[in-house]
A and B are shown apart, each in its own frame.
Chain A
Amino acid sequence: MQNVDFTLCEGEIHALMGENGAGKSTLIKVLTGVYEKDEGEIFLKGMNKAAVIRSPQDAQKLGISTVYQEITLCPNLSVAENMYIARGKGAGQNWKKMNADADKILKSLDIPAKATQQLSSCSIAIQQMVAIARAVDMDCKVLILDEPTSSLDEQEVQKLFGLMRDLKKRGVGIIFVTHFLDQVYEVSDKITVLRDGKLVGEYEIETLPRVKLVAKMLGKELDDMEEIRDDSLVYKGKDADETVFEAKGLQSNAGIKPFDFYIKRGEVNGFTGLLGSGRSECVRAIFGADRMLHGEVKKNGKKIKISKPIDAMKNGIAYLPEDRKIDGIIGDLSVRENIILALQVLKGFFKPFTKAQAYKFADEYIKLLEIKTASADTPIKSLSGGNQQKVILARWLLMNPEYLILDEPTRGIDIGTKIEIQKLVLKLASEGMSVTFISSETDEMLRTCSRLVVMRDRKVVGELSGEDLTQNKIMSTIAGGDR
C-alpha cells in the first residue's frame, strides 16, 4: 500500500471499498498498529502531534477500536472476559462487576449469550456479536468494522446497523469495510475507494451510484453486471436429461434433517437459505466431508457408497469448501502444489507427478483462470483472497469432475472475480458439467442457477425453478411458505 490519504469525520459512517488486494485490510492494520508504516502520519482530533501507534494497545488507548473479519477473541475465556480483557485500570480482576456489566450489555444488544459462558461454546455469529459488543462498549472515538457482517444473518445485520446509527449520533466515526454493496448504500455517508494499494478517491454517497462505484473499484466500466446467462450457455447434449447424482434420505452427523436431492447433466442448481440453515451441511454430506448416518446415493443411476471425501472424488465429485482459509488452501505450499493436490491424491500415493507435469498443469490453469501470482512456486498464502479462490477452483477443475459443488465460491472476494467465477460456472455447465452453486447473495444465485433448493432450520422446505425463480418467491419460501 502506498501514499493513501484517508479522512474520517466525527459522526460519520465511512465505507472503505476496493477489490481484494486493494489494500483495505492493510490500511486498517496500519491504523490499528498491527503493521508498521514506512511513511506517513496519523492525526487524531484534539492532538496537534501525529499519533504514535505501534501496537493494538496503543490504538486502543487512543480510542480506536476494531472488529476484524476473522474472530479475534480467545475461545478458552468466558464471554465477559473477552469483552473486558486488557481494558480498564488496576491489576485486579473483579469478576462480579465484570459479569454484571457484560450481562447488561449483552442484554441491551439482544445477544443470546451469558457472560459466564465459555466463548468456544457460542456460535460464530454470536462470537462476532460479542466482538462488536466489546468494540462498542469501549467508548471509542473511531470504530473500525472490517467485514463484520460476513457471518451474520439478515436480522443480526439490521441490529448491527441500528447500533452503528446510534453510535454515529453520539459522534463516533465509523470505518466500515464490506463486500456487500447493499449494505454500503444502506448505512454509509461517504465512500473511499482503493485500488491496487492506491487511493482512487473519496466520494459522498449521493454522488456515486452503484454502477459507478463498481467501475471505480474495478478500474473499468462494468456492462455485464445484470444478465450473464443466455441460451448459448445451456447444455444441449443428448444426455441432458440424465440424472448425474441422486441422494435419498441423506443425513450426516452435522445435524441436518434427511433430504432428497438430484442433479442432471449440465444443470446448475443451488441450495439457498439463511446462514446456518444447513446449506453447507447438505453439500458436505454429499461429498462425504461429514459422517453419513442414513440414506443412499446414486451416481449415474448406480448405487455408490461415500463415507469419506476420497470416495466422492473417485466418483467424479468435486467440492470447493465454504471456508477458504480453514478448508481450502494449504498456506505454505506453492500454488503448483495446491493446484495438483486433489488430482495427485486421486492418482495415488505411489504415483507422483513429475515436476514437469506438475508445472504444465499449474501453468495451464494459472493462464486459464488468470490467476495473479508471481510464479507457480509462490506460496499460496501470499496471494490475495480472490486469487487463492481461483487456485482452489483450478485444483478441482484439474480433476475434471462430472459434478462440481461450489460452496460460497464468491465470499470475501472482489466483484470482478465474482463475475468471472459465475461466468465460468455457466460455461462449465454448458460443456456438460453439473454444478451445485451456493452463495449468500441471492442475486448471484438467480443469475446462475436454473433450480434452487430452499432450506430452513436444517431442513429442505422447497424447490423453485422456472418462473418461480424470483427474489420475492425465494424470500417467502425461506420465511415460511405462502403467507
Chain B
Amino acid sequence: MSTKLSLKSKTKKIGNDVKEKFSKEHMKESFENKKEEVAVKTVYKRDNIKHFFQTANSNVFASMCLMGLGQLMYKQIVKGLIYLSFEILSIVYFVMYGGKAIYNFFTLGLITGDPWLEIAGDNSVVMMLMGILTWFIVVLTIVMYYTNIKDVYNTQIRVLKGGMPEKIGESLAQLADKKFYKTILALPLIGVLIFNVLPIIFMILIAFTDYGGDIVPPELISWVGLENFEKLATLGEIAPTFLKILSWNLLWAFSSTFINYALGLGLAILLNKKCVKGKAIWRGFPILAYAIPGFITLIGFKFMFSVGGPINQIISDAGGDVISFLGIDAKWTARAIGLVVNAWISVPTIMLLTTGILSNMNTDLYEAAEIDGASKRKQFFKITLPFVIFSTTPVLISQFIGNFNNFGIFYFLRGGLTLDGYFLASDTDLLINWLYNLSIDNNYYAIGAAISLVIFIITSAVSLGVYVRSDAYKKEDTFR
C-alpha cells in the first residue's frame, strides 16, 4: 500500500517538474538566458582581431607575451603554471632538438654515412620522421598558445559578467562531466596522430622524394617535387602500365563489388524464404568459406586451377587438353577466376549482413504492396533493395575500397609475372600489386608512394562522392 502511495507521489512530482519546466515564466527565463548566450556568441563571432585587441585587458596581453601569465594574474595558479611549463618545455625542445629537426626536415641530411669508415652519417628517413613529429609539436604549440589566450579572454569575460575566475577544481570537474568527451578522446587522438596520421604523412611525403633504387640509407634522400607524378604520367614505360592497370583496377573494383553484393543479397533473400528448410545449415556453408583464412583459400584455388591441379586432372582424364587457367596467356580467364575466388571469400560477409537487415524489415510493407498488386520484382526493387542499400551504403563503400585495394587475390593466384607491355607488372595486377612490385620487390619506394597517393585520391573521391549522394547520408534521420 505504501509502495503504491510512494509511486503515486513520485509520479505527481515528475508531473509538477515537467509543468514547471514548461511554465510561461520558466520559458521566458530560459529564453532570456539563451538571448544572453547568443549575444556573447555574436561578440565572439564578430571578434575580429581589432575587436579582440580593443576589448582584451592587460592579463590577456600578459598571456600573449608569456603563456599562463594572464592566468597567474587571475590567480589561476595551477592552470597558469601548466601553460607556463608548456611554453618553457616547448622553448627547450625547439632550442635543443626541434629547430634542428625542422632544419633536417628541409635538408634530409647532409652527411652520407660510411660504415667502413665508421661515419654514422645522416639518416634521411629518420630525419623526415622526426621532422614530421616536430611539425606536429609546432602545431600543438600553436594550439596551446591559442587556447591559452582564449582561456584568459574567457576568464576576462566571465569576470566582467560578475563571475569569478574558474578554479582548477572546477576545470577538472568539467573535464569529468561536461567536457568528458575531451578527456576520453585525448588518448585515442594522440594514438591516431602518432600511429596513423604520422605514417600517412610520411608516405605522402615520400612521394615527393627520390627515395628508392640506389638512393636508400646510408645514401641521402632529396626532395624532388612532383617528379614521381610526372614519371607516372609521362614516362614511356610507366605511363601506359599505369593507365592499363588503373582501368583494370576500376573495372575490377566495380564488378567485384557488384558481384559480391548481388550474390550476397541474393543468397540472403533466398535463405530468408519461408519455404527453405534447415536455414541454419544452409547459412553455415558460406560461413565456413568465410571462416577459413583468405590466403589459405587462395592457395587452395591456385592449386585447383594449376596445370597439375585437380581441375586439369579431370579435364585430361576426360580426354581434353590441359588448360593453363592462370598462365601467361590467360588474361581474361585469370581475371574471371579472380572474380569468382573473390566472390567465394566475400559473399558470406554480405550474406550475413543482409540477413540481419532483412530480418528487421517491416512485413506490413510487403502485405500492402501485395494488396496494391505489386509484383515480386517490383517489391524487390521498390522495398527490399532501397532498404538494404540504405542500411549498407557504408559497408558497400568499404567493400569497394577493399576490392580496389585487394592485394591478396592476384598476388596469390598469379604473382611473379611481368608481362610484355607492362612495367614490372602483369595484366591481372591491381595498382596495389604494382605498388608492391615496385616498392618491395624493386625498392622503388618513391614511385610506390606516388601510386599509393593516387589510390588514396581515387578511393577517397569515389567513397565520399557516393556517400554524400546516398540516402544513407542525406536521409539519415528521415528514412526509417
Task: Judge: A and B partners, yes or no.
Answer: no
Residues in chain A within 8 A of chain B (CB atoms): none
Chain B interfacial positions (CB closer than 8 Å to A) = none
